[in-house]
């Protein structure tokens, strides 16, 4: 064996949900939006001058940052944009989580957090959510090297009130606190209103869920300009040009169309209500969802069995073989029609 | 000051060339291709189904990897694709350069190498190129934590023969050796033919130069499947989905059109010859270029003065205020027309 093998960074990578590609499948496994992006996105892509691709894209992503700043009532220098919120979160880990103290995140949450910690050599502790999968805020009063919380949380779908978030911020003025709001537009109130009050707060959002643009890879973080500058410097130490020309154009159109955005979020919330209704009728229980998915277990049938049966019928949901959640299914909210197909299947499968 | 400030990763980011955006400017400063991408790229973007953007892109980037494998006569598992070659190089630093020994790269080369080393906490040594900006191969016989060489080198434009590369590989069987071939299609022979012979060799290329797609952000590395797997695992510990849907589609079309690719490379090489001719006539000297740029100094006029005068006339070239190269201009090869405009300007400015 050659010596270089001793110095390879060996990691256990994150495993994303399956990306099956079957013609008639119902894909409710990766929390994608069932609706297309705003109509302006299709238009700007269709009219895009491909000749411009010979040039580097704007490394400052100015056009898109201006639109976001305008939409959220922030200054341009309070926003950083990356290649999906995963890119943004990874940069945040690399930029801020460098102390010897462990960072904190719940035992049940987005399973990428421990992966980023491992790849960058950060230690971590995982306080347990309570039996209802709620945060025990006192668990975050101890010394730490940073805190990251998904709100609404995944895969639980639970939204914690801003009072809880603010309480944790107040008890952690010496730590960076990251609120990962990938699902915030489906029912929660964003912590972005707190960024001017807490200089240690970062609020991360994404175009992949509520903006129907998982395929374009756009995520962003909002914070005070000092924190944004630190992230931007690290980003510019890795790759000057991340968002490509097409993403920037498409992102701008998406943010501009506020009405379309709000309508498709409403549609998903309505479909979620209908889905909750039939799931309850069929013997499922689940926490109150503030996301575009439901985290459900059945009173009699095992989650892994339902998961397998659904998959055999080309209906894909997500199952996690992890401690405490191995009897739950995470079901993305699709269109009304897709959820009806799910309902038909479950009615038959569960003998209802 | 809050404690979290003690743990911020503080870096001096890479400074890319200016990205001015003036209507009649002549942009010869960031080695972009003056020609548009292959016609199939415009077509596939125009016909792209924006509705598909709601879904995550293929995390395995299979379609594009297959086209590249086909083009280079490799197996799919010998190629890794990232968001420009900068993303790929950054991942290589993170994956392989983890020993306590310094990595080696020349004193004059792509100025991102020390930035990646710094952000990931890697020490480095920079052996001096000789007075003709050529590698002194014996400088790379010492113990090291890895080697990275740009070939052709930037900003010098000089291509080192594969004999030199192979000699360095032979003397470094215990180190990872990275050959960064961003400019290889403009005149050099790729080291990719050596990847099956040397298990420690990585060859990086990009779509940003010879494929006219800087705006789409696509780069790749070719190596044996073991090395590729290590990089892929680290990548999947950072961001599962990097290349967006549009990039993958566009990249495939670019690779498919071999004829267009070869023709536009030939055009640039022809324009380079004409440019070399008038630069020589006007009193410039420069190493033999194997890239899409020329690294020139003038017998009388200072580079910084010419640079400033060009800029004032909206002709952008690159000037580096660095030791040993502060009297050189790096001039990208544009279209014949653009180089003619450069010639007119220089003729007048230099009183020729």
Q: What residues does B318 pair with on adjacent strands? A: B330
Chain B residues inside the 8 Å CB shell of A50 = 36-37, 41-42, 45-46, 250
Same domain, B90 and B143: yes
Domain end residue (candidates: B206, B232, B257):
B257
Range of the domain at B316: 22-30+259-349
* CB contact (8 A) between residue B53 and residue A213: yes
Largest interatomic CA distance in chain B? 62
* Residue B136: partners with Cβ closer than 8 Å, 6 or more residues away: B127, B128, B129, B130
Residue B1 included in any domain = no
A317 closest CA partner among A285, A301, A294, A300: A294
Same domain, A273 and A236: no
Residue B198 included in any domain = yes
* CB contact (8 A) between residue A11 and residue B199: no
Same domain, A232 and A164: yes
Same domain, B114 and B129: yes
* Residue B133: partners with Cβ closer than 8 Å, 6 or more residues away: B108, B153, B156, B158, B287, B295
- CA B57, B63, B69, B71 torsion-angle sign: negative
Domain end residue (candidates: A224, A257, A290):
A257
User: pLDDT grade, residue B16 (50/70/90)?
Assistant: confident
Residue B77 included in any domain = yes
A148 closest CA partner among A185, A199, A112: A112
CB B249 within 8 A of CB A279: no
Same domain, A314 and A234: no
Residue B53 included in any domain = yes
- Specify the 3-state DSSP secondary structure of A220: strand
pLDDT in tens, B110-122: 999 999 999 999 9
Same domain, A317 and A178: no
| Phi/psi of residue A125, nearest 5 degrees | -125, 150
pLDDT of B159 over the 90 cut: yes
Domain end residue (candidates: B230, B257, B284):
B257
Residue carrying the six token digits 């002194």: B136
Same domain, B132 and B59: yes
* CB contact (8 A) between residue A246 and residue B37: no
CA angle B189, B190, B195 (to 5 degrees): 140
CB A53 within 8 A of CB B40: no
* CB contact (8 A) between residue A242 and residue B90: no
CA A166 to each of CA A42, A190, A197, A285, A343: distance values in angstroms, whole numbers, following the listed order: 39, 12, 10, 29, 39
CA distance A34 to chain B (A): 7
Residue A19 included in any domain = no
The two beta strands, A293-298 and A284-285, are: antiparallel
Same domain, A253 and A307: no
Same domain, B143 and B123: yes
Q: Where are the alpha helices (DSSP H) in chain B?
A: 39-46, 62-72, 84-96, 113-119, 162-170, 225-235, 245-256, 258-281, 303-312, 336-349
Q: Residue B289 is part of a domain; what is its CATH number? A: 3.90.1150.10
pLDDT in tens, B60-103: 999 999 999 999 999 999 999 999 999 999 999 999 999 999 99
Largest interatomic CA distance in chain A? 62
* CB contact (8 A) between residue A3 and residue B174: yes
Residue B9 included in any domain = no
Residue A17 included in any domain = no
Taking CA atoms, what residue in A is nearest to B87? A239
Length, in residues, of chain A: 352
Same domain, A245 and A188: yes
pLDDT in tens, A247-273: 999 999 999 999 999 999 999 999 999
Cα(A278)–Cα(A296) distance, integer angstroms: 12
Mean pLDDT across the stretch B206-221? 98
Mean pLDDT across the stretch A3-7? 89
Residue B17 included in any domain = no
pLDDT in tens, A124-180: 999 999 999 999 999 999 999 999 999 999 999 999 999 999 999 999 999 999 999
* Residue B167: partners with Cβ closer than 8 Å, 6 or more residues away: B137
Cα(A21)–Cα(A23) distance, integer angstroms: 7
Q: Residue A164 is part of a domain; what is its CATH number? A: 3.40.640.10
Same domain, A342 and A293: yes
Same domain, B309 and B184: no
A75 closest CA partner among A85, A65, A83, A84: A65
Taking CA atoms, what residue in A is nearest to B33? A54
Cα(B41)–Cα(B244) distance, integer angstroms: 15
Cα(A68)–Cα(A83) distance, integer angstroms: 15
Q: Is the peptide bond before B158 cis (omega within 30 degrees of 0)?
A: no
pLDDT in tens, A80-136: 999 999 999 999 999 999 999 999 999 999 999 999 999 999 999 999 999 999 999
CB B49 within 8 A of CB B338: no
The two beta strands, A318-319 and A329-332, are: antiparallel
User: pLDDT grade, residue B283 (50/70/90)?
Assistant: very high
CB pairs under 8 A between A and B: 274
State how many domains chain B has: 2
* CB contact (8 A) between residue B246 and residue A37: no
CB A30 within 8 A of CB A293: no
pTM as predicted: 0.97
């Amino acid at each position: 064996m050659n010596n270089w093998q001793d110095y390879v960074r060996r990691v256990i990578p994150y495993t994303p949900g399956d990306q099956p590609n079957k013609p008639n499948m119902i894909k409710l496994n990766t929390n994608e939006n069932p609706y297309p992006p705003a109509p302006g996105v299709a238009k700007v892509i269709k009219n895009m001058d491909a000749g411009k691709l010979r040039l580097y894209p704007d490394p400052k992503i100015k056009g898109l940052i201006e639109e976001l700043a305008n939409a959220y009532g922030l200054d341009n220098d309070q926003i950083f944009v990356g290649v999906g919120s995963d890119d943004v979160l990874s940069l945040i880990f690399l930029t801020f989580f460098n102390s010897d103290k462990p960072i904190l995140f719940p035992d049940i949450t987005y399973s990428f957090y421990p992966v980023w910690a491992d790849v960058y050599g950060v230690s971590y502790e995982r306080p347990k959510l309570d039996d209802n999968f709620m945060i025990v805020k006192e668990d975050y009063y101890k010394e730490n090297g940073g805190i990251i919380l998904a709100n609404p949380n995944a895969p639980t779908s639970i939204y914690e009130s801003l009072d809880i978030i603010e309480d944790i911020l107040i008890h952690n003025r010496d730590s960076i606190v990251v609120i990962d709001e990938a699902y915030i537009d489906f029912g929660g109130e964003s912590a972005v209103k707190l960024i001017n009050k807490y200089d240690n707060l970062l609020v991360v959002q994404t175009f992949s869920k509520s903006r129907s643009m998982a395929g374009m890879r756009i995520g962003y973080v909002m914070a005070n300009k000092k924190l944004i500058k630190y992230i931007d410097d690290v980003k510019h130490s890795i790759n000057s040009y991340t968002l490509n020309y097409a993403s920037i154009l498409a992102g701008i159109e998406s943010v501009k169309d506020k009405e379309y955005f709000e309508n498709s979020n409403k549609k998903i919330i309505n479909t979620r209500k209908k889905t909750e209704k039939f799931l309850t009728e069929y013997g499922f229980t689940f926490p109150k969802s503030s996301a575009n998915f439901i985290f459900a277990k059945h009173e009699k049938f095992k989650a892994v069995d339902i998961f397998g049966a659904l998959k055999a019928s080309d209906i894909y949901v997500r199952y996690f073989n992890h401690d405490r959640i191995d009897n739950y299914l995470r079901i993305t909210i699709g269109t009304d029609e897709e959820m009806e197909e799910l309902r038909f299947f479950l009615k038959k499968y569960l003998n209802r």
